[in-house]
Amino acid sequence: MMDWISVTEQVEPLEGVLLDSALVSDMQQRYEALSGNRVGKVNFYTPTFKAYATSEIAGCGKSAWPAVSITGGDCKLQCDHCKAKILEPMLPARTPEDLWKLVNEQIAGGAQGMLITGGSNYRNEVEYNAFYPTIRRIKDQFPAFKIAMHTALVDMDIARRMEDSGIDAAMMDVIGAQDTISQVYHLRRTVDDFEKTLEYLVSTSLKVVPHIVIGLHYGELLGEWNALEMIKRHVPQAVVLVVVMPFYAPEHRPFVTPDSGEVGRFFMDARAALPDIPLLLGCARPPGRVKAEIDSYAVMAGLNGLAHPSDGMVELAARLQRDVRVTPACCSIAIGDEVMAIETEDAGLQIDIEQIIAQERARKSPVGALGGIRIVTDSQPTGGCCG
């Protein structure tokens, strides 16, 4: 088999992207030793391919996956990487009545699911208690409407209430370093509280999709490997990895951009630790050349999904002999892609991937499609882009 650095040199959109050759070599050796149900499969969730998709996604637009905050833009924690700014563009629904009205309006407008979240109290809890009956009502009235909930920290009773409400996916950040909890989140909770939350959630029938935010400690990797160990002890349905994007960091404690090579090493370790669990690289990661580096390492490490990948990633995966699928990710927020990853991980609209690769290559030179490289597509469209 050709060495992977030589493979990357054939992918024209990666020209000028600096990859660590020693890391790539290590990735190749470790990948070839992997075994597991998820190894070798990759799905790209991207709007790039919408023009090639069937008419079944034509009506899927910005409103397909609205994000709803039950606290509007309010949050007590004011974490250093967010400062509650992520809540501001979300649709507010501060009362159960507001939520019921909003969901009916969104469904009438074509919405297929939503993220429900909100600002935390000082204990990193989102106070959903008054909303559970309305969520149950929504699921009873509109069973096909998907609801993903950002849980924050919970106890067993709250986990059961979430289960009873009928939500489709429970999502939480798993933090493995006490200093990060104290300094970045300004939170008087422990690493054990995060592990207990994961334990409680996976003990229910909920689909649990924990997130690891790589570089959460001011751009440095600190508790990520411990978070991975926690997930190994309480196995969920899927895991989402994102790379911190601290647009709202305070001037007195800025974040550095995480080192792409270290991020790649973590991808490698995550794949080895969870060979039978879908691993998805979510939308959040730094832009520019570092994004192309991170995405390349994600493909080589064997992650199962990339949301909004950099140019050249489909070709790279094909040249590395992966089973490639493409799902048009026309959802408005990252969470839509993430729920798709567990709802339709083996689906995806049938698309002429070779034509798309040829289009990518034609940007700089008229190179033809990649003949002879095995690419897997699905011949059965899913009937919609968001699961």
Q: Which domains does the chain have, with CATH numbers?
A: 4-361 (3.20.20.70)
Q: What is the pLDDT of residue 385?
A: 33
Residue 86's pLDDT is 76
Residue whose pair of structure tokens reads 């570092």 in the numeric block: 290
pLDDT at 329 over 80: no
**What distance in Å separates the CA atoms of residue 36 and residue 55, rounded to the nearest whole number?**
35
283 has a pLDDT exceeding 90: no
State yes or no: pLDDT of 150 exceeds 90. yes
Q: Which of 77, 91, 307 has its CA nearest to residue 182?
A: 77
pTM of the entire predicted model: 0.86
The pLDDT value recorded for residue 116 is 95
pLDDT at 107 over 70: yes
Band (pLDDT 50/70/90 cuts) for residue 334 is very low
Which pair of structure tokens corresponds to residue 230? 């926690």
- The pLDDT value recorded for residue 387 is 32
Report the pLDDT averaged over residues 126-148: 96
User: Which one has a higher pLDDT value, 328 or 75?
Assistant: 75
Q: What is the dihedral of CA 98, 85, 267, 154, to 10 degrees?
A: -50
What tokens appear for 309 in the block? 């990948």
* Number of CB atoms found within 10 A of residue 387's CB: 23
Tokens for 122, please give them: 């000082």
User: Which band of pLDDT confidence, cut at 50, 70 and 90, is reported for residue 56?
Assistant: very low
Q: Give the strands of the sheet with 169-173, arranged side by side.
A: 91-92, 67-69, 113-117, 146-150, 169-173, 207-214, 239-243, 279-281, 305-307, 41-46, 323-328
In angstroms, the CA 58 to CA 319 distance is 30
Helix (H, G, I), strand (E, B) or coil at 132: helix
pLDDT of residue 383: 32
Q: What is the mean pLDDT of residues 239-254?
A: 84
Give the mean model confidence (pLDDT) for residues 12-30: 95
